[in-house]
Amino acid sequence: MAIIAEAKHLKAYYITQSYGIERTVKAVDDISLEIKEKEILGIAGESGCGKSTLLKALLGTIDPPLKIVDGTMQYEFEESYNVLSMSKDEIKQIRWTKVSYIPQGSMHVLNPVRKIRDTFHDFIATHQNLNKSETTQLSQDYLQKLGLSGQVMNAYPHQLSGGMRQRATIALATILSPKLVFADEPTTALDVLVQRGVVQLLKEIQQREGSTLVLVSHDMGVHANLADRIAILYAGKLVEEADTRSIFKNPLHPYTQYLIESLPRLDDKTERSSIPGRPPALDNPPEGCRFHPRCPHAMDICTKEVPPLVDMGGGHKTACFLVSEEKT
């Protein structure tokens, strides 16, 4: 499969300076990632591991104090775009029509004093030369295709339920048939039933449009349902990357093993153990492998050297000396 976007050695740090003390938070530290055409790539990891920051870098919405220290990020459409150095015009040109974004917490992403219809108009008219009645017609048709009532168009955001608002936001993000969609925690803060509906909606859109979906979530259940491939982040580093089946059946990295272990199973009623310790603070991460203070298999080398991401065959990559040492 062709590659639609590729990140190489991305380093995105939050650099703040107050009263002469510089503080650097290495939220994304040397991450390389390939996104293949028409796949659903899940990016998983616990809170504060750099998921959202990685997404910002992939999307190219870098605002201070976030800074790209090193690395490249490219989209490959008909032509390639260097995401980290796009001009304003280029951004306007590719956003929504080629690359789109479903934000975290749709509670507040819709302008509270504008009707949904007007928000749709604002977003569409920015990219296509259509007048108000045309954009209204277009969005009404699209909402109906997604199984949403056209009534939504005349509502204000606060008049919609959380689930409706999330669906309207998904519709808003995908209305111009983008090839590449980034979704940041699209199911967070929704109840399980609504989550299911939203997951189905995302999958339906992805399949119908043949688009690529990059899904960031801490919820392994959502990934199991949706993703073709999963990338596991830990403390700003990519620790494992494989197809969904391999991640769940044969996790190689101890962190991934813990993650999978902690998921509830229908046939098993024993208590789930949690990972000992806490995730490290990213302004002062541990030397060597960042997981070693919590790892039950930590070796000498883990405290000194950073394990490289190694392909174990079949695209199953992991960054752990346990596995890579065995192999060499």
Partner 1 sequence: MNLLKSYFLPRLSQWLITILVGVTVTFILPRLLPTDPVERTLSTLSSLQTMDPRAVESLKEALEDLYGLGGSPFEQYINYWKRLIRGDLGPSMSAFPTPVIEIIGAGLPWTVGLLISTIFISWILGIILGTLAGYLPKNLWCQIMDKIFISIYPIPYYILALILVMSFCYHFQVFPLVGGASGKPEISWSYLSSILWHSFLPATSLIVGSTAFRFIMAKALTSTIIASDYVHYAETAGLSRWRIVLFYVIRNTLLPQATDLGLSIGAIFSGTVITEVVFSYPGIGYSLYMGLLQADFNLILGITVFSIVGIATAALLVDLSYPLLDPRVRYK
Tell me how many degrees the CA angle 251-257-258 measures, rounded to the nearest 5.
160
First to last CA, the chain: 29
Identify the H or E element spanning 81. strand 80-82
C-alpha distances in Å from residue 227, one per residue of 74, 89, 214: 22, 32, 9
Q: Which is nearer to partner 1, 185 or 240 (CB)?
A: 185
Q: For residue 115, how many other CB atoms are within 10 A of its CB?
A: 17
178 binds partner 1 (CB under 8 A): no
CA 299 and chain centroid, separation = 32
Work out how close the CB of 156 gets to partner 1 at its nearest, in angstroms, rounded to a whole number: 4
Work out how close the CB of 297 gets to partner 1 at its nearest, in angstroms, rounded to a whole number: 41
Q: Which is nearer to partner 1, 113 or 192 (CB)?
A: 113
Distance CA 295, CA 130 (A): 56
Residues 6+ apart with CB under 8 A from 328: none
Its sign, for the CA torsion 142, 114, 199, 215, is: positive
Query: How many chain residues interact with partner 1 (CB under 8 A)?
Result: 25
Q: Do residues 35 and 88 lie in contact, with contact meaning Cβ atoms separated by under 8 Å?
A: no
Q: Which is nearer to partner 1, 91 or 301 (CB)?
A: 91
Work out how close the CB of 205 gets to partner 1 at its nearest, in angstroms, rounded to a whole number: 17
Q: Which residue is listed with tokens 């949690």?
A: 274
3 state DSSP class of 290: coil
122 binds partner 1 (CB under 8 A): yes
Short-list 179, 124, 180, CA closest to 153 = 124
Q: Which is nearer to partner 1, 119 or 256 (CB)?
A: 119
Work out how close the CB of 159 gets to partner 1 at its nearest, in angstroms, rounded to a whole number: 8
Site string for partner 1, 86-115 (x = CB under 8 A): -----xx--xx----x-x-x-xxxxxxxx-
Its sign, for the CA torsion 164, 167, 173, 176, is: negative
Distance CA 107, CA 105 (A): 5
Q: Which is nearer to partner 1, 175 or 247 (CB)?
A: 175
Alpha helix ranges (H) inside 17-131: 51-59, 88-94, 116-127
Amino acid, single-letter form, for residue 37? E
81 binds partner 1 (CB under 8 A): no
Site string for partner 1, 139-158 (x = CB under 8 A): -----------------x-x
Q: Which is nearer to partner 1, 158 or 245 (CB)?
A: 158
Work out how close the CB of 185 gets to partner 1 at its nearest, in angstroms, rounded to a whole number: 13
Site string for partner 1, 191-220 (x = CB under 8 A): ------------------------------
Q: Which is nearer to partner 1, 101 or 291 (CB)?
A: 101
Work out how close the CB of 171 gets to partner 1 at its nearest, in angstroms, rounded to a whole number: 13
Q: Are strands 180-184 and 212-216 parallel, antiparallel or unpaired?
A: parallel
Work out how close the CB of 43 gets to partner 1 at its nearest, in angstroms, rounded to a whole number: 18
What are the residues binding partner 1 (CB under 8 A)? 59, 61, 91-92, 95-96, 101, 103, 105, 107-114, 118, 122-123, 126-127, 156, 158-159
